[in-house]
Structure 1
Amino acid sequence: MLRNSMFTACVVLAISACSEPKDVVIAPQKTDLTEVSVGQWIKDSSGKVMFDPQTSGLVEVGGQLITIADASADVTQQLKLHTIDPASATLTHSSATFSFSNAVRRSCFYTYLSSQPDLEALAVDPRDPKIIYTVTEDATRTGALSPRCESKYEATGSTDYPTLLVKLTQKDNGSVEMSDVRPLQFPIDFEVGNFPNDGIEGLTMDSDGTLYIGLEKDKAGQPRIFTLNIGDDFWSSSDFASVSDPQLRLPVFTSGNHPINGLALHITQSGDVFLLAAARNDNELWVIDSTKQKATKRIPITFKVNGGEACGEYLMDNASMEGLVVVDSTLWIINDPWEKNYMKNATCEADTPRYEDLAPLLFPLTLKASWFE
């Protein structure tokens, strides 16, 4: 019996020795794309932080950053543009309250736009940096439209009260006029759904007049990006402006909330156009190829705070990034303090009052060529 076992073992060894070796595939280690950004408190010249501005967008004009407040902000911050020096995170100027053109005053939407409108996102027109676009989101707090206006603008394809694209014009004297407004229409087959507080939160514009519009979620719970062409005669009409679907390669989710809360545009040295989307709930930056040739990259971001001598550098629990803009090789991000979660960040006593004031931070992130490959 022992002799047979030894014979069998020898045969197995011989066969093993003579057989062709199998190919061994070693999977490459998954690249960690995580980036870390350390934010600075945005302060005025006296060292005070911004009080509850609920910052909702970010653009760059003349080397300065500009943001806007939404309807949940302190009333003193609303209907203004706020200018920030990125080099020092200093609030250098807040405009006077917007004025209104005759066209806006005569529109169906003046009552809403002149009384705490929920303004979200900003986009500079590259053809004229004095023109900035913003958009409304939740209008459920306003009164109903007149019967005539309601009949004209009821086919929104989304919310009961139409989403409004608003043109802001910066005057030479520093004032800002709400100069034009048009309601947006979403084709029924886009299945956007009726979500007043999960609407448009991102805008950015290409030099050819293409406005990219980021929607938090549609009827299926998916984030979406639409487009609209702003031609020379765009504002001559008061009719609906119907958006298009470029069918960009966005991530698709089976559950959870994964909204887009900000958009920026980046043109590489080779001339390729990419969109950068702030996925707030995921703490991710999405790098989206406008030509749909490359798959979207998802860049996780770890947010920290420069707490100065008293607090040092510490990790945030909830940053809630909202606006972003590319300036040269830096992506600047501003957060929208989320009242429900903001105090979770107050791990250092010296910074606690700033969180209680719902003060925002400015975060820099250096662009990497590998994101666009």
Structure 2
Amino acid sequence: MLRKTLALISGLLLLSACNQQQDIVIIPEAQDLTVTTVGQWITDDSGKVMFDPQTSGLVVLEGQLITIADASADITQQLKLHTINPSTFKLAHSSDRFSFSREVRRSCFFDYLNDQPDLEALAVDPRNPNVIYTVTEDATRTGALSTRCESKYEKTGSTDYPSLLVKLTKLDDNNVEMSSVRPIQFPDTFNVGNFPNDGIEGLTMSSDGTLYLGLEKDKAGQPRIFALDIDTSFWSTSDFATVYEPKLRLPEFSAGNHPINGLALHTAKNGKSYLLAAARNDNELWIIDTAGTLPTKRIPVIFNVQGSENCEEYTMDNASMEGLVIHGTTLWIINDPWEKNYLKNVTCEAHRRHYEDLAPLLFPLPLSESWFETD
């Protein structure tokens, strides 16, 4: 009798449990933010690609894209601004070699700037479109400064030879002058480290004169973003320009190299301001809240090369994006051909010569408001 009673109770409990509504927790899959951009070769009117320009920055002026060459480029490409028509992917114009103001000629840095300066990144001053800023990186090849200059500029907080912020001024004849220069100083507490070829690679400027500077890596191997306030008196001195660090929520890494190689600035429809950073090694676009309240959103980017009569569209093995700028509703990205890895991209033999010539590509990517939405 006891066994029957226990069995009856057990059955009633089981039936009751089955009749109760169960709460089911559904965990949504992580959103795939990956985007694909299809690049085209930058060519001149004759159809020839750009030969080894080592493109190192991108800005927009009057609807045209402007880039610059670094010290690794072919000598014919250096110390010039190169203008690209984004509608045709054509090289529209290259300026004459930069001229130099009296101020720059009399500075401690003229010999370096007049030779093969390692110019990285570009930023247009939104208050004066005739003013463009660039910055130098590796200056170890230039030799020592004079004793007087070395003594004045030895406390860089980073490399032995200081990084230089350079003001370029577009002249009436559409040529360009290096009109001012100031060395950059990093406070010792920032622990930037002495990495001559891993310095400032990104620049962009806000309408209030805040110039953001993207550093490839610091002593701990982390990418950093610093800032300078460029006011009306900024260029009145040749003393160090000491950077400060805005409170941004950048990714942190336990290992590997994760450099920032380009910066752009965007105000979204929600009114918030964001930095867009080119994370070259990661093939990612970083969306960084300038207010520092939101964590950085990381957008994986796949770089394809447009197909042609002789080639089908294919994905690059190593794109090495270097400069980026927003024009209208499009983010434009230019790559910096990395000689060590560039031939790994040869999927179609018809493009082999382009890679051997270290020719860059231009990649359009539609801006997505989802990048700027809070999760």
What TM-score results when the alignment is normalised by the length of structure 2? 0.96
The residue number in structure 2 matching 1:61 is 61
Tell me the secondary structure at the aligned position of residue 235 of structure 1. helix
Counterpart of 1:371, as a letter, is: W
Tell me the secondary structure at the aligned position of residue 352 of structure 1. helix
CA offset digits 1:163-208 (Å, max 9, x no partner): 1000000101011000000000001111111111000000000000
The residue number in structure 2 matching 1:199 is 199
Q: Distance in 1 between matches of 2:158 and 2:13?
A: 70
Say whether 1:213 aligns with 2:210: no
Q: CA 1:310–1:187 in structure 2 vs 1: closer, same or farther (change >3 Å)? A: same
The residue number in structure 2 matching 1:15 is 13
- Structure 1 residue 8 displacement after superposition: 7.6
Say whether 1:238 aligns with 2:248: no
Q: CA 1:119–1:13 in structure 2 vs 1: closer, same or farther (change >3 Å)? A: farther
The residue number in structure 1 matching 2:367 is 367
Counterpart of 2:351, as a letter, is: D
- Structure 1 residue 328 displacement after superposition: 0.8
Tell me the secondary structure at the aligned position of residue 253 of structure 2. coil
- Structure 1 residue 22 displacement after superposition: 5.2
- Structure 1 residue 322 displacement after superposition: 0.3
User: What does 1:266-285 align with in structure 2 at a 5 Å threshold?
Assistant: 266-285=266-285
Counterpart of 2:72, as a letter, is: S
Say whether 1:225 aligns with 2:225: yes
Q: Distance in 1 between matches of 2:62 and 2:272?
A: 23
Is the contact made by 1:168 and 1:177 (CA closer than 8 Å) also made in structure 2?
Answer: yes
Q: Distance in 2 between matches of 1:140 and 1:299?
A: 35
Counterpart of 1:151, as a letter, is: S
The residue number in structure 2 matching 1:341 is 341
User: What does 1:171-182 align with in structure 2 at a 5 Å threshold?
Assistant: 171-182=171-182
User: What does 1:113-124 align with in structure 2 at a 5 Å threshold?
Assistant: 113-124=113-124
Q: CA 1:267–1:100 in structure 2 vs 1: closer, same or farther (change >3 Å)? A: same
Q: CA 1:33–1:148 in structure 2 vs 1: closer, same or farther (change >3 Å)? A: same
Is the contact made by 2:59 and 2:66 (CA closer than 8 Å) also made in structure 1?
Answer: yes
The residue number in structure 2 matching 1:247 is 247
Tell me the secondary structure at the aligned position of residue 141 of structure 1. helix
Say whether 1:79 aligns with 2:79: yes
CA offset digits 1:224-260 (Å, max 9, x no partner): 0001000001000000000010020100111111000
Q: Distance in 2 between matches of 1:351 and 1:363?
A: 17
The residue number in structure 2 matching 1:315 is 315
- Structure 1 residue 18 displacement after superposition: 3.2
Q: CA 1:17–1:255 in structure 2 vs 1: closer, same or farther (change >3 Å)? A: farther
Counterpart of 1:330, as a letter, is: T
Tell me the secondary structure at the aligned position of residue 311 of structure 1. coil
The residue number in structure 2 matching 1:130 is 130
- Structure 1 residue 267 displacement after superposition: 1.3
Counterpart of 1:187, as a letter, is: P
Tell me the secondary structure at the aligned position of residue 350 of structure 2. helix
Counterpart of 2:313, as a letter, is: E
Q: Distance in 1 between matches of 2:60 and 2:15?
A: 69
Tell me the secondary structure at the aligned position of residue 261 of structure 2. coil
CA offset digits 1:12-35 (Å, max 9, x no partner): 554344346653211011111000
CA offset digits 1:22-58 (Å, max 9, x no partner): 5321101111100000001000011000000000000
Structure 2 spans left out of the alignment, 5+ residues = none
Q: Distance in 1 between matches of 2:15 and 2:369?
A: 49
Structure 1 spans left out of the alignment, 5+ residues = none
Greater mean alpha carbon deviation, residues 290-299 or residues 126-135: 290-299
- Structure 1 residue 128 displacement after superposition: 0.5
Is the contact made by 2:269 and 2:369 (CA closer than 8 Å) also made in structure 1?
Answer: no
The residue number in structure 2 matching 1:147 is 147
- Structure 1 residue 308 displacement after superposition: 1.2
Tell me the secondary structure at the aligned position of residue 141 of structure 2. coil
Q: CA 1:9–1:192 in structure 2 vs 1: closer, same or farther (change >3 Å)? A: farther
Q: CA 1:13–1:100 in structure 2 vs 1: closer, same or farther (change >3 Å)? A: farther
Counterpart of 1:128, as a letter, is: N
The residue number in structure 1 matching 2:190 is 190
Tell me the secondary structure at the aligned position of residue 276 of structure 1. strand
Q: Distance in 2 between matches of 1:158 and 1:12?
A: 76
The residue number in structure 1 matching 2:43 is 43
The residue number in structure 2 matching 1:259 is 259
Tell me the secondary structure at the aligned position of residue 104 of structure 1. helix
Tell me the secondary structure at the aligned position of residue 51 of structure 2. coil
Q: Distance in 1 between matches of 2:88 and 2:215?
A: 32
Tell me the secondary structure at the aligned position of residue 203 of structure 1. strand
- Structure 1 residue 10 displacement after superposition: 6.7
Is the contact made by 1:307 and 1:351 (CA closer than 8 Å) also made in structure 2?
Answer: no
Say whether 1:170 aligns with 2:170: yes
Q: CA 1:10–1:294 in structure 2 vs 1: closer, same or farther (change >3 Å)? A: farther
Moved >2 Å (runs of 4+): 6-24
- Structure 1 residue 303 displacement after superposition: 0.4
Q: Distance in 1 between matches of 2:238 and 2:94?
A: 30
CA offset digits 1:288-335 (Å, max 9, x no partner): 110112221100000000131110211111100000000011000000
Number of residues paired by the alignment?
370
Tell me the secondary structure at the aligned position of residue 166 of structure 2. strand
Q: CA 1:11–1:279 in structure 2 vs 1: closer, same or farther (change >3 Å)? A: farther
What TM-score results when the alignment is normalised by the length of structure 1? 0.96
Q: Distance in 2 between matches of 1:212 and 1:116?
A: 24
